[in-house]
Amino acid sequence: MSTPAEDTPELRQWIIRQTEAGRSPNDLLTELAARGFGEAKAVDVMTAALQARLESVRARNDVVAAESAASNTVPQSLVKDWPQSVYAFDREARVLFTINEPRIVLFGGLLANSECDELIAQTRRHLTDSNVIDVQGGGEQRHGDRTSTGTAFGRGATPLITRIERRIAALLHWPMENGEALQILRYAVGQQYKPHYDYVDPNQPGAEPFLARGGQRVGSLVMYLNTPKAGGATNFPDIGLEIAAVKGNAVFFSYDRPHPSTKTLHGGMPVRAGEKWVATKWLRVSRTDP
Ligand code: PD2
Ligand code: ZN
């Protein structure tokens, strides 16, 4: 090129088209150099073009997630025709298995190893005994069925949590605002969460204050932050399913009514060796407290 190298909208479009067509960054940098760009300028132009493209893809994904959320009655993974993977906001997760009744999907690699490690590191110093919802009196209480320790992070508590929450919203086509605080749990050897339903029985006297803040729970995502040495599977006794806890994987299940007929009875089986860490996101019908 004889004219001076210039960063123009047309050039950025060209960089995006070439990248989407599969050309490598090195190849494009070589071509930009041939067009008269110095090395640093070429890297700047490429970075700016690709960053802008990424932002617009993310914004579009958010719109698609919000639009489909508006037409769903429960969160759902739009896993149709058995794809090997799904794209959620900023990450591709593998689809390891799906079950229709109850609706269960196991995702592989939903969280990166570094994200799991960071969540554990952020939590380790803040562990307190886990509670269950007190269906008699409202509020929460200790219960022998749930012997883990843990903590909760409100929505948007850290940049990492915001990123994971946006990923979950895109994955399950459900608004971020309908998600409860992220619960991080640690189970030591022998600790467990005996089989239970995640929804609240609306006929119990203490259900009302819970339901007043966002309505019923309609879906759960349990993300495994480490791989226990032994034990700690998530089980669904009604259907004889046991899912091994594997770092980065996540099990999703939904329930369209607060009733055992959903077959979503599930538990965290006792850890036999090592420890087990999970992050749980419960999803409500409506917007709930951050
Ligand atoms: O830790 C688990 O595997 C587990 C099992 C059942 C977590 C939950 N339920 C939960 O947090 O609701
Ligand atoms: Zn549960």
Sorting pLDDT into bands at 50, 70 and 90, what band is 1? very low
Mutating to test ligand 1, I would choose from 243, 266, 281, 284 the residue with most ligand atoms within 8 A of its C-beta, which is: 266
User: Which residue in 217, 250, 215 sits closest to 234, CA to CA?
Assistant: 250
- Spacing, Cα 72 to ligand 1 middle (Å): 24
65: pLDDT strictly greater than 80: no
- Spacing, Cα 34 to ligand 2 middle (Å): 59
- Spacing, Cα 62 to ligand 1 middle (Å): 28
Sorting pLDDT into bands at 50, 70 and 90, what band is 69? low
- The end-to-end CA distance of the chain, in Å, is 55
Q: Determine which residue's CA is closest to atom 12 belonging to ligand 1.
A: 198
- Spacing, Cα 232 to ligand 1 middle (Å): 10
Mutating to test ligand 1, I would choose from 120, 278, 281 the residue with most ligand atoms within 8 A of its C-beta, which is: 278
Predicted TM-score (pTM) of the model is 0.78
Could you tell me if 19 and 50 are in contact, meaning their C-beta atoms sit under 8 angstroms apart? yes
Could you tell me if 76 and 185 are in contact, meaning their C-beta atoms sit under 8 angstroms apart? no
Residues in the chain: 290
pLDDT in tens, 276-285: 999 999 999 9
Reduced DSSP (H G I as helix, E B as strand, rest coil) percent helix, strand, coil of the chain, to 5: 35, 25, 40
Burial 172-187 (b: 16+ CB within 10 A, else e): bbbbbbbbbbbbbbbb
User: Is residue 266 within 6 Å of ligand 1 at its C-beta?
Assistant: yes
* pLDDT value, residue 205: 80
- Spacing, Cα 233 to ligand 1 middle (Å): 9
Ligand 1 nearest-atom number relative to CA 266: 6
Burial 131-140 (b: 16+ CB within 10 A, else e): eebbbeebee
CA distance 109 to 226: 12
Give the residue extent of every domain in the chain.
9-71, 85-284
Burial 202-232 (b: 16+ CB within 10 A, else e): eeeebbeebbeebebbbbbbbbbbbbbeebb
Among 41-50, 111-120, 264-273, name the one with the lowest average pLDDT: 41-50
Could you tell me if 28 and 39 are in contact, meaning their C-beta atoms sit under 8 angstroms apart? no
Query: Considering the chain, what percentage of its residues have pLDDT values greater than 90?
Result: 64
* pLDDT value, residue 240: 98
Sorting pLDDT into bands at 50, 70 and 90, what band is 154? very high
User: Is residue 61 within 6 Å of ligand 1 at its C-beta?
Assistant: no
213: pLDDT strictly greater than 80: yes
More confident residue, 177 or 146: 177
Among 27-31, 156-160, 278-282, name the one with the lowest average pLDDT: 27-31
CA distance 21 to 15: 10
CA distance 253 to 151: 22
Q: Determine which residue's CA is closest to atom 2 belonging to ligand 1.
A: 268
Ligand 1 nearest-atom number relative to CA 183: 11
* pLDDT value, residue 68: 60
Q: What mean pLDDT do residues 174-187 have?
A: 96
Q: What mean pLDDT do residues 28-57 have?
A: 88
pLDDT in tens, 70-97: 667 888 776 666 778 999 999 999 999 9
CA distance 143 to 37: 66
User: Which residue in 169, 170, 134, 130 sits closest to 152, CA to CA?
Assistant: 130
* pLDDT value, residue 54: 81
Could you tell me if 199 and 220 are in contact, meaning their C-beta atoms sit under 8 angstroms apart? no
* pLDDT value, residue 2: 44
CA distance 69 to 283: 12
User: Is residue 234 within 6 Å of ligand 1 at its C-beta?
Assistant: yes
Q: What mean pLDDT do residues 261-285 have?
A: 97
CA distance 126 to 214: 26
User: Which residue in 231, 217, 229, 238 sits closest to 280, CA to CA?
Assistant: 217
Neighbours of ion ligand 2 (CB under 5 A): 198
Q: What mean pLDDT do residues 185-210 have?
A: 92
Ligand 1 nearest-atom number relative to CA 232: 3
CATH for the 85-284 domain, from 1.10.1740.10, 3.20.20.70, 2.60.120.620, 3.30.1460.30 = 2.60.120.620
* pLDDT value, residue 252: 98
